[in-house]
Amino acid sequence: MSHPFKADLENQIEFGISQSIAKLAHIYGTSHNFQKQKFLYDHFNEKVPNNGYAKIKSSEHYDEFVDNLPPEFNDADWEEEYLLSWKTDIPAMHVISAEPFWQESKLLWFVLYLLPYPGGVYLVTSKYWEHRDPQVSIVDFGL
């Protein structure tokens, strides 16, 4: 049987993680429709084709925007920028991967995070939709 204090602490940690993900979804999703993430994702795919990411067709507006970027933007590590765009306000929670998918004719983003702690790691998966709150799953891999 789990100690009540430990269970309460785990609930608080899971609540904090879920709140952090919800905050990111509120800032970049909702009326913004994850435009920043889409831009970085599309630009990464344009610069590094066939690197394990599915290609989502970009628009003419996007192509024109990219063509007019200052030269210093062409030297950026677009994959790192893309992954960092999914970073939450929990500094120790690292973005491992972020992939776009279509579900029910709507775009969703599946993001995998790792949050290490002394004696283990939390594996956090999140689905970010443009039309509803994120879905979060947290698994504790205690050592």
**Range in 49-58, 69-78, 80-89 with the lowest mean pLDDT:** 49-58
pTM: 0.77
Query: Does pLDDT of 82 surpass 60?
Result: yes
**Range in 12-16, 45-49, 78-82, 113-117 with the lowest mean pLDDT:** 45-49
pLDDT of residue 12: 92
Q: Chain centroid to CA 69: how far? A: 24
pLDDT of residue 3: 62
Q: Chain centroid to CA 66: how far? A: 22
State which amino acid sits at residue 111.
V
- pLDDT, tens only, 6-45: 778 889 999 999 999 999 999 998 888 899 999 888 888 7
Query: Does pLDDT of 103 surpass 90?
Result: no
Locus of tokens 């491992």: 96
What the block records as the tokens of 21 is 């993900």
pLDDT of residue 64: 61
Could you state, in order of their start, the residue ranges of all structural domains in the chain?
Answer: 4-142
State which amino acid sits at residue 36.
K
Query: Does pLDDT of 62 surpass 90?
Result: no
Query: Does pLDDT of 126 surpass 90?
Result: yes
pLDDT of residue 105: 83
